[in-house]
Every structure is written in C-alpha cells, then in structure tokens.
A and B are shown apart, each in its own frame.
Chain A
Amino acid sequence: MSKDMKFLVVDDFSTMRRIIKNLLNDLGYANVTEADDGQTALPMLQAGGFDFLITDWNMPGMPGLDLLKAVRADPKLAKMPVLMLTAEAKREQIIEAAQAGVNGYVIKPFTAVTLKEKIDKILEQRANAA
C-alpha cells in the first residue's frame, strides 16, 4: 500500500467530505472518491478498485454501521480497512462498531493529526499482518 491507494469517503455532508478529501490530499493521498451515503457507496465499493473506506455513521438511506456490516459480509470486500469518522459518541455504539469489525474510530470534531495517526496505524497493522 502506498500513496496511490484509492480512498472512498462516505458522508452525507458535502462540507465534511471536502474537509476529509483535502486532509487526505495533504497527507499525500491524491486518489479520493466521495459518496453521500451507504446506499451509494456499496455499489461503488463492489465495482472494485478501492483500498480504504472512511465512513460517517449517521446518514440518510444506509447508515455507516450498515455499510460496515455489508462490507464485512461481502467476501470480496471483507478485508477492506474501514475507518469510522463520526459524531456518534455513545459507548455502546463504539463497541457495536468494533464488534462489526471497524479498524478505527475517529470522533468529530477531529484534528488532521488524529486522522493521520489512525490511517497510519491501520496501514501499519495491515503491513504487519501481510
């Protein structure tokens, strides 16, 4: 995995997608695509080519947790790194996301440093596991 990894950023607010996309660009990841909820994102992921998924939780249509579960249930996507980036702050929700197989959980409002740390950590774990 390197800087040409392809990211899919899923959030219903276009401002938040833009913020995340810009931060990823700052980190050197230029290949970023956006989707506005799980329903839009899932077929894009299934069409293939994505290496990393960053998703919000609270979205109309399909929420992020359902998207995570759908990704884990799809044999082609099951191993995809998924970072949850959300304002959902209840302890039971974080536990639920962990049990559904999320790789990282960043809470909004967040900082550029936190985002970088979590992405780096997930990629590092991937590299060690490989």
Chain B
Amino acid sequence: MSSGISALREEYGPSIATLAGALAAGDDSTFFKELDSLVRRREMTLFGELRKLTGDLQSALERFRLDSRLLALAEKEVPDARHRLDHVLRLTDEAAHKTMDLVEQSAPLADRTATSAAEIQAVWKRFRQRRIDVTEFQAMVVKMDEFFDAACADMDRVRGNLSEVLLAQGYQDLSGQIIRGVMKLVSELEVALADLIRLSKSGMEVSNAAKEEPARGFGPAVPGIDNGPAVSGQQDVDALLSGLGM
C-alpha cells in the first residue's frame, strides 16, 4: 500500500505542487494548463482499462460461440453420424445378402444345364459312332428338344440374376458418400476441440471463422435424419417433375 502511495506521490506530486504553486502565485493560466494535463492523464488510464475489458468480453463471447458449436456437434451431429454409419452397415449387409441369394439361385440353373448337356452328349457320341438304334435316337431327339427349351429359360434367368448382382453393388457408392460425410464431421469436431484447447490456454486468442458448406449436394437421404423436404423415391420424383411440366 505504501508503495502504491509512493507511486501516486511520484506520479501526481509534481503536478499538485505546480497546481498549488500556481494557485498561490495567482497564475491561472499555468493552473488550468496543469489541471488539463492531469485530467488527460487520468482519462488515458481509464481508456486502457476499458480496452482490456472489451478484449476480455470478446474472448468470452468467442468461447461461448465455440461452446455452442461443440454442443451442436455433441448433441445432434455425432448421434446423426452414428445413425448414418448404421445405415451404411444396413446397406452393405443387404447388398451382400442379395448378392448371395442371387448366386444361390443361379448356381442350380447352371448345374442343371451342364448335367443335361453331359447326358445328351453321351448319347450323341454313340450316335456319331453310329452305335444307336431308332428308339434310342427318338428318345435323344425328345430329350434335346426339352434341353433347348430348358437351357434357354434357365440361362435367361441366370442372365437376369447377374444383372441384379451387378445392380446390388450400388451400395458402394451410397455408403461411400455417407462415410465421407461422417469423415468431414470428424475433422470438424477435431478443429472445434483444438480451438477449445487453444482458447482455454489463453483467453485472448481468436478462433478460425466457421467454413461455408459448398453447394455440391447433400448426399443420399438417410432414413431417420431430417435434412429438409425430400422425395421418397422415383415415383415422387416423377410426380414432382410432371408437376413442373416435364
């Protein structure tokens, strides 16, 4: 306290002495000049304190903004991300099962064609060696007719199944897009946490401005995640477009 008083004495003593001297001498111009300089000095100190207060307020506001961003990430976007990844799991699971179902349906058809062809081939070889009688020949012809019909029908079904297997691989595109979205969220979370740590260390630092979302699409609709009004399927799209005159 005494050092505070001595500092004050050192800072203001000469001024007050000048003021008292001017007053005693009746020198009003010196008195007012010294008084003005004293007031200005006092104002400067006040402004300095005000500036510091403003800085503190700014950093508090920034911390608050970061807190609310983190809150949004923790409360909404992280659970949403979990939901998205669940959807990826479902998509991949469905695609795998669908593919396996189709393969299982196709394999017996291919087997049946191969077996029938082998049976006919055995008789056919004897026919080529002219070691076959008329009734056996007639049976072979009937069998071949049946085989051609069955093989055409079976192979059509196999071909159709193969197309569906191909189509089932589309999950890779959809799940890839969802995973990329989650990866983006994770890196955003990383930045927000890093900023929080930085702000906790020193109250005065400024955080990066939030980045704008580029308008390159939202990715696939995920059931249970509301992203604004969306169509539910191709029929909805067609209805919407025909409403627009397309």
B-chain residues with CB within 8 Å of residue A110 when the two chains form the complex:
170, 234
State whether A90 and B229 are in contact (beta carbons under 8 Å apart), knowing that A26-B163, A108-B174 are contacts in the complex: yes
The reply to whether A106 and B234 contact each other, CB–CB distance below 8 Å, is: yes
The reply to whether A111 and B167 contact each other, CB–CB distance below 8 Å, is: yes
The reply to whether B230 and A89 contact each other, CB–CB distance below 8 Å, is: yes
The reply to whether A58 and B217 contact each other, CB–CB distance below 8 Å, is: yes
Per-residue CB proximity of A11-54 to B under 8 Å, as 1/0? 10101101100110010000000000000000000000000000
B-chain residues with CB within 8 Å of residue A74 when the two chains form the complex:
none
The reply to whether B173 and A108 contact each other, CB–CB distance below 8 Å, is: yes
Taking chain B's interface residues, is the majority helix, strand, or loop, or is none over half, making it mixed?
loop
B241: interface (CB < 8 Å): yes
Per-residue CB proximity of B101-122 to A under 8 Å, as 1/0? 0000000000000000000000
Per-residue CB proximity of A90-110 to B under 8 Å, as 1/0? 111111001000000111111
Per-residue CB proximity of A61-105 to B under 8 Å, as 1/0? 001110000000000000000000011111111110010000001
Which positions in A face B, CB cutoff 8 Å?
11, 13, 15-16, 18-19, 22-23, 26, 57-60, 63-65, 86-95, 98, 105-112, 114
Which positions in B face A, CB cutoff 8 Å?
163, 166-167, 169-174, 176-177, 215-221, 227-234, 237, 240-241, 244, 246
